[in-house]
Amino acid sequence: MGTDKTGAMTNNEELFEQLLEASMETGEFIWRLPITENDRERVRSSKIADLNNSPGREGHAIMGGAFIGEFAEDTPWVHLDIAGTAATKKDGDLGPAGATGVMVRTLTAFVERFE
């Protein structure tokens, strides 16, 4: 996803759309990633545990979402993969080099909408 796009996975379209609106308001870019049955099977394929949250490098960001989905079941959730966006080597529009605090603005705007 690079250093400027946070990946997002969800099991609930309405919840994701609310989060997407908040991200557009704050200027923190998110991009939705799919979770397929193949991804779920990879998480379930551990030889030593019930689930494997890291079944290989391929699609690694998606594996985090698939792993969470196994626990959350029907509870609405959104997983934000900030591995590539949590830190930066150079100053940017939203702050200096170092820890970015990515998604704090988005999550704040998202929560402020709830009553």
Q: What is the pTM (predicted TM-score) of this model?
A: 0.86
Q: What is the mean pLDDT of the chain?
A: 91
Strands 6-10 and 30-32: parallel
d(C-alpha 30, C-alpha 13), whole Å? 14
Q: How confident is residue 55, by pLDDT bands cut at 50, 70 and 90?
A: confident
The pLDDT of 30-38, averaged and rounded, is 96
d(C-alpha 15, C-alpha 72), whole Å? 14
What's the pLDDT tens digit per position in 78-92?
A: 999 998 999 999 998
Burial classification of residue 105, based on how many CB atoms lie within 10 Å of its CB (0-12 exposed, 13-18 middle, 19 or more buried) = middle
d(C-alpha 38, C-alpha 43), whole Å? 9
d(C-alpha 87, C-alpha 22), whole Å? 21
Contact 38, 13 (CB under 8 A): no
